Amino acid sequence: MGSAAGAPTHARRRAGRPPQAVLSSARITKAALKLVSADGYKGLTMAALAKSLNVAPSALYNHVRSKQDVLLLVEDHLMGRVDVTAFGVEPWAEAVKIWAHSYRNVFAAHLPLIPVIALLPVTNAPATITMYEAVTKGFLAAGWPSDSIIDAVVALESFIYGSAYDVNAPADIFDAGSLAPQAPHFAAAVTQRSNPGGQSDANAAFTLGLSAMIAGLLATSTRVSDTE
């Protein structure tokens, strides 16, 4: 039926889906990271995430079933940025250093997520699994026994996560203030702290600790190749 004379005509919206999806995993991940950066982990709720994406919660649930799914996206995004390219190319110790420095730097920029990611299963997180596979292959290539690799990786990760916090520590974190006379040795050690090559305190501590961990791991794994 035609329109009444003089009445405006409106083009009917075409049926079917819009030409581009309103949401994507990348958009959800980016928005989730932004929320955590602004309000901490507690600020990451499904309602807040939907609002930040300017969609109804129901639209968000069409892409992710729960907050756990969102966290898996975030975990995978961050782990995908960790550099594992040195494994299989550089000697084991050097590859571990490059991986550990990259790992620390990624999470130093996302501190609120450390307590969550550190306890989040890696199930169905492809970039995370890819990262761990590269690290495991690097350990195996260096002669590590398979039954010791995961314990070594967990030990390194514990140090890495703690060091990520240290990157963000205030410069005066060890200032004893008016209690310095009661702890003269500690206060003197803090004052005399010196880091070669102009490194920051956090980088110097990380370099020292990582070198000690690598040396200790090498000493406890007798099957690691002597050439590494």
The CATH number that applies at residue 49 is 1.10.10.60
> What confidence tens digit (pLDDT) does each residue in 81-139 have?
999 999 999 999 999 999 999 999 999 999 989 998 999 999 889 999 999 999 999 99
User: Comparing 227 with 108, which gets the higher pLDDT?
Assistant: 108
How many whole angstroms separate alpha carbon 183 and alpha carbon 191? 12
**Within this chain, do residues 193 and 85 fall inside the same structural domain, yes or no?**
yes
**Within this chain, do residues 61 and 107 fall inside the same structural domain, yes or no?**
no
**How many structural domains comprise the chain?**
2
Q: Domain span at residue 35?
A: 21-65
**Within this chain, do residues 147 and 202 fall inside the same structural domain, yes or no?**
yes
How many whole angstroms separate alpha carbon 211 and alpha carbon 114? 23
Residue with tokens 């070669």: 196
Residue with tokens 């950066």: 37
The domain that contains 115 carries what CATH number? 1.10.357.10
Of 10, 33, 65, the domain-final residue: 65
Here the tokens at position 146 are: 């398979």
pLDDT at position 18 = 45
Q: Of 103, 31, 114, whose CA–CA distance to 70 is shortest?
A: 31
* Dihedral pair phi/psi, residue 127, rounded to 5°: -70, -35
**Within this chain, do residues 119 and 211 fall inside the same structural domain, yes or no?**
yes
Q: Name the amino acid, one letter, at 156.
A: L
> What confidence tens digit (pLDDT) does each residue in 21-76 have?
578 999 999 999 999 888 888 889 999 999 999 999 999 999 999 898 999 999 99
Whether residue 204 contacts residue 195, with contact meaning beta carbons closer than 8 Å, is answered with yes
Q: For the whole model, what pTM was predicted?
A: 0.82
**Within this chain, do residues 61 and 90 fall inside the same structural domain, yes or no?**
no
**Cα distance from N-terminal residue to C-terminal residue, the chain:** 83
Give percent above pLDDT 90 in the chain.
Answer: 67
If one counts every other C-beta atom within 10 angstroms of the C-beta of residue 130, the result is 14
Reply yes or no on whether the pLDDT at 197 is more than 90: no
Of 65, 89, 120, the domain-final residue: 65
pLDDT at position 222 = 59
